[in-house]
Structure 1
């Protein structure tokens, strides 16, 4: 028994973008890439698929369980569609551009594919746009990355931006120092702090109760920083003073119109980040639209190279209309002046030429038509 799929049916989590949305996606991507390119970031374009073993070796933000796999008929090896482009940029930096001067500034844009969706992000294919600064994870690098991410979103017309800072290695720093916690208990402690579950933290024992004050260190940036500084001056004994100073320095140049918050024990999505991480939110949208921070890239000799970067996932912005613009569409009747039409296109008009006497400019989305060599409204 055979069955045929409806001609317009697509796999779950995949969708078409029709002309208006596709153009909005291209325009928003271009706005972001033009912004980072103006800061000296060169664009790279890694392939959609790589050998599975090569890709999984460098995947940090996504695990092997996120991979959609196929068999390459030529090499007979398993290929994997990328679930994240950051790993590919890391590969390029560590191999093809291993001898390029540092800091190395790279940017990218393209679709990524995950094996499964989740309730917050039901789409399996998403656009990812980002920038990576390889060779430094300093405060200065963080200042550049955070402010460039904000500038890129503002250039795309996104209002109501919130930056939420976190310290991904906070438990390790304190656990190795003034607030000892056994290594085998730290993952559970991170999870419970991330969930803000005070009872579960206290129940861990092994010194975990000393971390309870960190649950209250969340919210508006300056008030939360005061609480964090009080902890550092008390039980933390100055162990996180450098990180606090770094956060202050990163926040200082950010404009007053950007909302800043702090959640130093936020862990979800920052499993591979080192000392610094941040999430990006926009007013009116559920969930983050991007994230970034410091991490390390593995060179082929096994050594680790520091890096800093951010990734944006703009599909919710595109669906909400960001990147769209009103086009001046001009209908060109049969026998029109081609030279005049060329001049008008140079002035910003989108021209739609008649192919037969039956073509209707208004039905084709045009608000004007060419009459006596000049645009005239219908």
Structure 2
């Protein structure tokens, strides 16, 4: 057989038993936390009509990220979702438009993108998250951030940190300055995002230079932001950040980078990124936003579950008990109810140890192999 016929496309991979088990455990733990906080799970379809999906995504994103093909039934173009959040927005604006607000929804499902980045080459992700529809207040943001931290902890992550940003920072500061045109504001935003002091001066943003240094550990960075904000344009955001940090307490390390916009281009006043020990890159993101198409306020977070599972602590291995032919079914059922895994013999010359078993059932009792 030609082995090249078994190759998978770039950015896609099989998840073998150990990896799949870690992901499944993390998924269950995260969904249990969301359920406990009142987030009801919904399951949008993997495919949608491209026009429907694109209408709730930023302009051009569906074309750049989503696989598309013609539906042989309707003869209309379908899109394979690259992000579940726009679908949650559609559900909130249509099927659940009359549901009481705030509306709490949870989700978990696969997504795929046409092209991934060099830093993160995966083109398929298992995305899990919670959305609080109808509010983007400090109280809503506090709930979302603390719930996101709790889900990460429940999944077995440690050393969790939260990095806050203010996506509309430049727009808020530039609004009172009639001398700044849209092109200059965009240039200032770009140079701040790249942390280029020289470039910032060159585009007329010298007054914004202190923002490059209002970063780092939360308390110090927030004080630097307060010192910069002499006119009080950021007062409500600063106090909002302080209130959210107070809710987090010592459950996570907190940092602040108010000018970071990469990945937060469509968030409103708040964005945050989650990190954890043992995980390369971010484990999730969140923030406040407006639902595409309806413009309803919302706050939410997304976890990259397959990446998150890489850093989760390994659980204690369950006993794996071999059940020989003629074993007691009631005794085997009792073992499973107690958390053991069982492997039933189905043929001659089986090797229990080679099958990964640690014990064997003899009568109604187990014995180590």
Normalized against structure 2, the TM-score is what?
0.96
Establish whether residue 160 from structure 1 lines up as the match of residue 159 from structure 2. Answer: yes
Q: Which residue of 2 aligns with 1:256?
A: 250
Distance change >3 Å, CA 240–CA 186, structure 1 → 2: same
Distance change >3 Å, CA 325–CA 178, structure 1 → 2: farther
CA contact (8 A) 1:334 1:357 kept: no
Listed one character per residue, the Cα deviations across residues 15-34 of structure 1 (whole Å, up to 9, x for unaligned) are 11112211211110111111
Establish whether residue 326 from structure 1 lines up as the match of residue 350 from structure 2. Answer: no
Q: Which residue of 2 aligns with 1:56?
A: 54
Distance change >3 Å, CA 128–CA 65, structure 1 → 2: same
CA contact (8 A) 2:108 2:129 kept: yes
Aligned residues: 368
Q: How far does residue 70 in structure 1 lie from its aligned partner after superposition?
A: 1.6
2:220 to 206, 223, 226: 223
Q: Which residue of 2 aligns with 1:377?
A: 368
Establish whether residue 39 from structure 1 lines up as the match of residue 37 from structure 2. Answer: yes
Listed one character per residue, the Cα deviations across residues 130-158 of structure 1 (whole Å, up to 9, x for unaligned) are 00000000000000000000000011110
Q: Which residue of 1 aligns with 2:235?
A: 241
Establish whether residue 273 from structure 1 lines up as the match of residue 271 from structure 2. Answer: no
Q: How far does residue 327 in structure 1 lie from its aligned partner after superposition?
A: 2.1
CA contact (8 A) 1:108 1:130 kept: yes
Q: How far does residue 160 in structure 1 lie from its aligned partner after superposition?
A: 0.7
Distance change >3 Å, CA 7–CA 362, structure 1 → 2: farther
Structure 2: distance between partners of 1:214 and 1:266:
11
Establish whether residue 304 from structure 1 lines up as the match of residue 302 from structure 2. Answer: no
221-230 vs 21-30, greater mean Cα deviation: 21-30
CA contact (8 A) 2:86 2:292 kept: no
Q: Which residue of 1 aligns with 2:15?
A: 17
Structure 2: distance between partners of 1:320 and 1:331:
31
Q: How far does residue 178 in structure 1 lie from its aligned partner after superposition?
A: 5.4
Q: Which residue of 2 aligns with 1:188?
A: 187
Structure 1: distance between partners of 2:254 and 2:275:
10
Q: How far does residue 324 in structure 1 lie from its aligned partner after superposition?
A: 5.1
CA contact (8 A) 2:162 2:274 kept: yes
Q: Which residue of 1 aligns with 2:72?
A: 73
CA contact (8 A) 2:30 2:154 kept: yes
CA contact (8 A) 1:59 1:87 kept: yes
Structure 2: distance between partners of 1:377 and 1:261:
50
Question: How much is the aligned-residue C-alpha RMSD, in angstroms?
Answer: 1.7
CA contact (8 A) 1:52 1:78 kept: yes
Q: Which residue of 2 aligns with 1:126?
A: 125
CA contact (8 A) 1:25 1:323 kept: no
Q: How far does residue 257 in structure 1 lie from its aligned partner after superposition?
A: 4.3
Q: Spell out structure 1 runs of 4+ moving beyond 6 A.
A: none
Distance change >3 Å, CA 122–CA 377, structure 1 → 2: same
Normalized against structure 1, the TM-score is what?
0.94
Establish whether residue 214 from structure 1 lines up as the match of residue 205 from structure 2. Answer: no
Establish whether residue 367 from structure 1 lines up as the match of residue 358 from structure 2. Answer: yes
Structure 2: distance between partners of 1:5 and 1:94:
48
SS in 2 for 1:304: coil
2:288 to 291, 294, 300: 294
Structure 2 runs not aligned, ≥5 long: none
Q: How far does residue 371 in structure 1 lie from its aligned partner after superposition?
A: 1.7
SS in 2 for 1:330: strand
CA contact (8 A) 1:329 1:352 kept: yes
Listed one character per residue, the Cα deviations across residues 59-106 of structure 1 (whole Å, up to 9, x for unaligned) are 249552011112111111111111100011001001111111100000
Listed one character per residue, the Cα deviations across residues 107-152 of structure 1 (whole Å, up to 9, x for unaligned) are 0001110001211111100111100000000000000000000000
Q: How far does residue 356 in structure 1 lie from its aligned partner after superposition?
A: 1.6
Structure 2: distance between partners of 1:266 and 1:335:
64
133-142 vs 111-120, greater mean Cα deviation: 111-120
Listed one character per residue, the Cα deviations across residues 171-220 of structure 1 (whole Å, up to 9, x for unaligned) are 00110025852112222211110111000011002xx2111111111100
Distance change >3 Å, CA 143–CA 228, structure 1 → 2: same
